[in-house]
Structure 1
Amino acid sequence: MEGRRGGVVRGIAVLAVAVALTASACSAGAAPVDRVRVRSAERPVPVGVELNPATTSAGGAPVPQCDPTASLRPTDLPPPGAMPAGSTMRAIQDRGRLIAGVDQNTYLFGFRDPTTNALQGFDIDRVREIAQAIFGDPGRVQFKVITSAERIDAITSGEVDVVVRTMTATCERWAKINFSQVYYTAGQRVLVEKSSGVQGVDQLGGQRVCAAKGSTSINRLSAAPARPQLVAVDNWSDCLVLLQQGQVAAVSTDDTILAGMVAQDPNVRMVGPRFTEEPYGIGIAKQSEDLVRFVNAVLRESIGSGSWTRSYTQWLTSTGQPPTPPTARYRD
């Protein structure tokens, strides 16, 4: 019994010495093992960011000349739910839903309402008008969220029936897909922080400027005489984040998209005049000319009934442009 008690006492004594040594080391300010010296930290960037990417403005096959604003003449609209047999619209009607490629990150044009999670915006209104004309129900839509760079492939692969996503009609794109008549005309400008002294694209030489991959905006920046450094992203909202973090000097795209950014962040502003013209059209597959004519009839009805103006008033008054629909032009 005595030997056991002595062992316990000796154990306690050893433990006390260990604790005392530890306390002494701590009080002496002992340095931790494997200390790592942090010199700098890179700010996080959105997924998919590319610096000075290749653009279609640099070389490539010559583009056939055309009038990109001229579409196919509209037909008379059949009653909803009674699409002509054998037509593209009848195939959509039989499927039970319109499949539309859209954006969910461009405030005012295509974005998710944070309270309802529903897609809203000027482009979304155009999609619902097409669904109304086919089904008599604007809600018969399957939305597919795509990036700017995915728009052409989504159409040519048959993944979607239409793309309504701030898409500029160009001759290069007309060679691959069809477009509806122009439903809105925007123009490229520059967005900077309010404290910036930049007044236009000509003052951005050597500085980082953000634009979306696959957009006409990034191609125009690539050809700008000032030669800015291009930062390409998947979604326009990523450009706003990079500007807010000070990782780019400016964002440059259509003034309608920039107006949505200004509405979200009071610390940014648009500068300089429009230096391009961007006629927006609804993208449709080459083999679906009947759908092009149908959509043009829907747009004609929307403009004539005042639906287009009401949609503009709800979403785009802040752009400062008059609520005047583009004049329709047809190539046949």
Structure 2
Amino acid sequence: MNRPARRRGRPAAILLALLLTACAPAYAPTPVPAPPASPTPTPVPSTSPRSAPDCEDPLASYAPPRSNPEPGEMPAGSTMAEIAARGRLVAGVSADTYLMGSRNPTTGEIEGFDIDLVKAVAEALLGEEDAYELRVITAAERIPVLESGEVDLVARNMTITCERWESIAFSAEYYRSGQKVLARTSSGIASPDDLAGRRVCAPEGTSSLERLRTELPEAEAVAAANHTGCLILFQSGEVDAITGDDTVLAGLVVQDPYAEVLDMEPLSAEPYGLGFNAEQTDLVAFTNRVLADRIADGSWEDSYDRWLRPSLGEAPDPPDQVYGR
């Protein structure tokens, strides 16, 4: 915040003090950490210019190299070298999306399918899978923290869309989900047609909320900060149903045995990608190599079997990796 410039030629210190007192805000300004002392990453320009957003195929990301440089050998001036110098990868994640990114009540650690991806990128960059720092964010904060450079990447079941490509960059698709609806088993809700006049919750700042309003306009949309907030409203009877990606809803069912995911055609396909600052395309390409290697060596399926198979069944085929930016 810039302070008003002092007038020159005021001879009286008392007058100056009165002016400063009168202009002082009635509240304490939000403290802003000085860049040198901040533990957050500083955006580094990409080694290649950013392509203009192209939505002929929003799933097309930046082509990876044939192989990534080894830890300790990142190209000078690259985003990867900046992260290596810091000594840790900073990732924005969920702490309450069960199975994808949630805090283990026993260990206190955040774990899940998305967190496995963070570990893989950290290991490729720094040689150690635990060389990362997690920042817990809401769905609505995913794009702002990337634009501001507070995190290196976001791994928070984020759907790749043309609109989001205008603000950030995405990795290649790492999981294909679909938007469905969760309701109480005794509610009489068996299909989306039964939601007319019912209160349905979805997190703020998500494509699930936007699609609820457009695809199910006869339902009453209710926004919450996250899916845990929706679950609280659901269990207290303030909403009748929750909509979201099937991966997320599967986690909510584990937490509430009286809830079920409706047997329905998904309202949409939800291709997940890791989010990045739009200028750091070198890091996107680096990460795409990590994702492709995980699919090739079976690590992707191992992670699915650990986190998602108990709720969603046999692993589907991994999503195709599409490049072309």
**Fold in common (TM above 0.5):** yes
- Taking the TM superposition and a 5 Å limit, the aligned residue runs for 1:74-223 are 74-75=64-65, 76-223=67-214
> What is the aligned partner in structure 1 of residue 306 from structure 2?
314
8 Å CA contact retained: 1:107, 1:257: yes
SS in 2 for 1:327: coil
Aligned residue identity for 1:85: A
How is 1:255-274 mapped onto 2 (pairs within 5 angstroms)?
A: 255-271=246-262, 272-274=264-266
Report the counterpart of residue 287 of structure 2 in structure 1: 295
* Distance across 1 between alignment mates of 2:259 and 2:132: 35
Q: Which runs of 5+ in 1 are unaligned?
A: 1-62
Matched residues in 1 for 2:243 and 2:236: separation?
A: 16
- 1:266 to partner: Cα distance: 1.0
Amino acid at match of 2:62: L
CA drift at 1:225: 4.4
Matched position secondary structure for 1:126 = helix
Render the CA deviation track for 1:56-76: whole Å, top value 9, x for unaligned.
xxxxxxx97431211111112
- Tell me which of 262, 267, 271 is aligned to 1:275: 267
Task: Give the Å deviation of 1:273.
Answer: 2.2
Amino acid at match of 1:266: P
Deviation at 1:82, TM superposition (A): 1.6
How far residue 83 of structure 1 moved from its aligned partner, in angstroms, is: 1.0
Identify the range of structure 1 (70-79 vs 219-228) with the bigger mean alpha-carbon deviation.
Answer: 219-228
What CA distance in whole angstroms lies between the structure 2 residues aligned with 1:227 and 1:152?
Answer: 29
Q: 1:252 to 1:306 in 2, by over 3 A?
A: same
- Contact (CA 8 Å) 1:100, 1:141: kept in 2 or not? yes
> Identity of paired residues, percent?
48
Structure 1 consecutive aligned stretches of length 4 or more whose deviation exceeds 4 Å: none
The answer to whether the 8 Å contact 1:313/1:323 transfers is no
1:304 paired to 2:296? yes
Q: Distance in 2 between the 1:210 and 1:64 partners?
A: 32
Q: Matched residues in 2 for 1:311 and 1:283: separation? A: 20
Q: What residue identity is the alignment partner of 1:94? A: A
The aligned residue for residue 68 of structure 1 is 58
Asked if 1 retains the 8 angstrom alpha-carbon contact of 2:160 and 2:170, the reply is: yes
- Structure 2, unpaired ranges of 5+: 1-52
Deviation at 1:226, TM superposition (A): 4.2
Quick check: 1:312–1:323 contact (8 Å CA) kept in 2?
no
Instruction: Give a deviation string over 1:256-314, Cα, whole Å, max 9, x none.
Output: 00000111111100002212000000001111010010000000111111111100000
Provide the TM-score with structure 1 as the length reference: 0.79
Residues 302, 308 of structure 1: 8 Å contact kept: yes
| Aligned equivalents of 2:324, 2:220: Cα separation in 1 | 38
Q: 1:182, 1:280 within 8 Å by CA — same for their partners in 2?
A: yes
Displacement of 1:252 after TM fit?
0.4
* C-alpha separation in 1, matches of 2:286 and 2:313: 31
Residues 54-65 of structure 1: matches in 2 within 5 Å? 65=55
Does 2:243 correspond to 1:252?
Answer: yes
Q: Aligned residue pairs: how many? A: 270
Q: Which TM-score applies when normalising by structure 2?
A: 0.81
